[in-house]
Structure formats: C-alpha cells, structure tokens
Structure 1
C-alpha cells in the first residue's frame, strides 16, 4: 500500500522516498518537484532552530545536478552569508553521497509596506470555470498522479492551471504553506508543453522563484508561458497564484532535444 506522503523522515537529516515522488520522464527516477518543497521545509526548520525572528524566504534558486532514484535522500543546510535582517542559506539534497539538487535561498526581515503595495500582475481565472485536466493521463509516474489539476489552455505553451496535492510533503509533519506550495512549482513545465513529451525532451535544469509573500490555502495557480528557441534552449515562465492573488514568479531553464536525444 503506497504511503500517503512524498517523504518520511528516518532521522534528523534523512528521508525515505515514496512512490508519489516517481518521475515523469523516467519512472525509475524521482520527480524533482517534491524535493524542492522538502529543501525549503528544511531551510525553514534550520532557520527556526537558529533564530526566533522567522525571516521570510524571498528567493530560492534550485540547480538540478542530476537524476536520482526512489530511494532514501539526505538534506544538509548551511548559512553562506549570515545577517541580522538578511541572510543567504544553501541546502543540498544528496543520495549515496552525491548531490542531486542544490538550492540557495535569500531570507529577509519583513517590513510594513501596506501604503506602498502595488501589483500589475494579471489575475487568474477561477478554477470553478475550468475542466479537470488530463495532466495525469498525459504523463506517467506517481508524482503527476499525486496532484489534482484543472486547466484552461489557450494553446500548447500558454495556459492557466490550478493544482493541489493529494498527499502530505513529509509524513507526520506540518510544513509551512510556502514549503508545501514549493513542492508543486516544478510541475509548471509539464502543464502546457509546446511539444509532445514522447517526441521531444524538454527537462528543466533549474528553477528560480521570487516570492512576494507567504501563500495561503491549498490550491496553487499557474499562469504559464513556454518559449522554445531555435538553438535547443527554452524557458517556462510562470506567475504563481493562491486564492488571494499572485504571490511569486518563477522561471525554469530548459534543454530542448528533438527526437528525445
């Protein structure tokens, strides 16, 4: 019987990986999306163990070093640039002694800027007006099947979508909404592909997100545009929403390889 979480903690820094982490490009490998959420969860746990002022995560830049299997992983964190109101933290997800994902995150103190708040980002369509997506049928793997998805697509490469997870990030733990939502961000690249995944490889090498604020609620909205160049590069750009509106903007750099070469 599958575990109803992506991960289960086995000690302070090690996690068992479950079938819900199963990848879409190769079902013998892990999808990186849940690991991104796990890394932010561990950054926040490390922060709260070191200090009591709950600095906000305002940017996270994930680099994917390589593939990794559905086996135990470990996470380590370190402060690269300490500070009273701003700090830079790095976290690494490793398997069998090899780094698979490394993230650098800026954390900063918040200030009351209510009188200055302004936003020109377009609102998302209501998910109540969207059909349930075929996302889980378009891609293989347990990770894709672990989320509920609705989508409104203008054309391949341009769509608005809503997702929410059906399983927990870490068994028996309560991550922040920010960590839980971050565990869904990487799905953006597969929600409205410009080419069929059976014909073209277009995995992302990284993901960088700038957070405007902490998200709220269960549902994550994606306003996504995918661009392919003529020289084998691409970009998936997404404005991320919750029920209160946009809260983050992210980009994923792609390697685009026709013929799945």
Structure 2
C-alpha cells in the first residue's frame, strides 16, 4: 500500500488496485459507487487519442453488480465521433471476471471564443464554518465514509427527507496523481440517495442501479454540493434527483434510479 492515502493505486496504464478508502456502507467487500464512477470518468477524459477542446457534458453509469475491492481493469471505446460531439463508452472489470460497471459519456466541443452565459438558478449556502456532519453508523472503521469531508446545510445523513450536503475529497482519486475537477463531482454525485434518504437505513435497502450526471460546467474549488430529493413508489422503485453546485453556483444535475426493499 502507498504511504499516502488514495482511493486507488495505479498498477499499469489501465489497471488499478482499490484501497480500503473505496469501501461503501452496504458491504465490506464492495466499493461505494462514487470512486469507480470517478475512475471511469477520468478514463473517458484521459484515453489515448482523446480529442482536445472537448468536455464531458453528460455521463450515465450502469452498475451491473457491486464493484468489488480487488484489482480492476478500465477499457474505453469511441462509439461516435462527430464534429461537435462524441460518445465514449468505458467499462470496469475485475481481474478474471466480467464488467461490473459501464459508463457512456457525451463529450461536447467547447467554443474557442466565449459565448453567452445564463444562470441556472440561485446558489446554495456555502460550507463556510459549517461543522463536519457524522455519517451513518457503518460497521467498519475505514471506507468512503471516512474519506470524504461532508457538511450539511440542510438535513443530515441521520435525518429522513431532503438534504443539501457539501462534500470534499480528503485524498486523491489515484495515488500520486492530482485531483481533477471531474473527480470531485463524480466521487460525490453518487451520494444523493444517502443525503436525501427517506427510509430507515437499518430496515431498508435503497441502493442505486445507475447514475446520470449532467454538467454545464466543471466545478471550481475543492467543494461540490449535492442538493438532493428522493421519491419512492410502493412498488419499490425510487428516484434520487439532485442539483449540483460549487461555491460559484450551479454546475449541473444528477439522478439515480433506486432499488428499494426491506432488509
């Protein structure tokens, strides 16, 4: 293990070893989906031959099965390359296994000269001096819950209902490599269902099988805010919908389809 904490250690150009900091709250052997989402997003942006002057505008993840805490291979393929947009697919596969997570990203060509800017809506209260918010009770000492700085300005992890939470990575995504703006968004965006949980964590499972993130701009600064709301149907299907912010204002939206069931 590296001397300095990180979510992953790079084994080779396209292979990564997850650390205990990726561990999610549901199972000791599985990752929270935030770190692998960021790893796939980085692969889309860093793949060999990536076109300059393009920026990720939307990415949709299909979480086929829990992502295990064992070495993973990342692969990418360009599905469409047009003048103004391109579609790139990425997959995450454990050694000796089948893909556990897919990402399909839309990248859009940016303007060479600044165009018009239109505000999406009001800013949320900045993290400021807000104290760190305790996470849900998790039966292991180290994991995603200890690797993110979380500060609520509305709700808490332990309250039911809507929540607004500022999140900041305590460590790099990949050991020895700089944190990128996209890392910050994608590591945090998958937390919407936990931030706005509407069910008793000890009596219900409410895990997401997908995640879609739309960005009209990349974040500035270290903090990303997830302003989330969750709705659940009696049939056991839910939706966690969130507005995403940085300290300058709105940056986009995220949505998660939820599988809801009694424990």
The TM-score, its normalising length taken from structure 1, stands at 0.91
1:245 paired with 2:231, answer no
Alignment of 1:201-240 (within 5 A): 201-240=205-244
Shift of residue 175, structure 1, vs aligned partner: 4.5
Contact 1:161/1:191 (<8 A) preserved: yes
Are positions 1:105 and 2:105 aligned together? Answer: yes
Residue 133 (structure 1) shift: 0.9
* Runs of 4+ more than 6 Å apart: none
Offset of 1:52 from its aligned partner? 4.8
| 2:123 paired residue number | 123
The answer (yes or no) to whether the contact 1:8–1:171 under 8 Å persists in 2 is yes
Provide structure 1 residue ranges, at least 5 long, that are not aligned to the other structure.
Answer: none
| Shift in Å, 1:54 | 3.1
Q: CA deviation at 1:221?
A: 0.6
Local SS of the residue matching 1:34? helix
Looking at structure 2, the residues matched to 195 and 130 of structure 1 have their Cα atoms a distance apart, in angstroms, of 25
The match for 2:52 is 53
Contact 1:82/1:88, CA 8 A, preserved across alignment? yes
CA drift at 1:139: 3.7
Greater helix share, structure number: 1
SS at match of 1:98: coil
Report the Cα distance in structure 2 between the residues aligned to 1:238 and 1:106, rounded to whole angstroms: 19
Deviation at 1:216, TM superposition (A): 1.1
**In the aligned structure 2, how far is the partner of 1:140 from the partner of 1:218?**
28
Q: 1:6 offset after TM fit, Å?
A: 0.5
1:4/1:129 CA distance change after superposition, 3 Å: closer
Aligned ranges for residues 191-210 of structure 1 at < 5 Å? 191-210=195-214
Give RMSD over aligned pairs: 1.8
Per-residue deviation, 1:193: 1.2
3-state secondary structure, aligned to 1:26: coil
CA distance in 2, matches of 1:218, 1:126: 12
Q: Is the 8 A contact 1:125 1:160 kept in 2?
A: no
Name the counterpart of 2:10. Answer: 9
* C-alpha contact 1:41 1:175 (8 A) present in aligned 2: no
CA separation in 2, counterparts of 1:83 and 1:140? 48
Pick closer, same or farther for the CA change 1:54–1:183 going to 2, 3 Å: farther
Cα offset for 1:144?
1.2
| 8 Å contact from structure 1 (residues 62, 206) kept in 2 | yes
**Where does residue 94 of structure 1 map in the other structure?**
93
TM-score computed with the length of structure 2 as normaliser: 0.91
For the structure 1 residues 108 and 248, does the alpha-carbon distance in structure 2 shift closer, same or farther, using more than 3 Å as the test? same
Q: Distance in 2 between matches of 1:138 and 1:54?
A: 44
Could you tell me how far 1:71 is from its partner in structure 2? 0.8
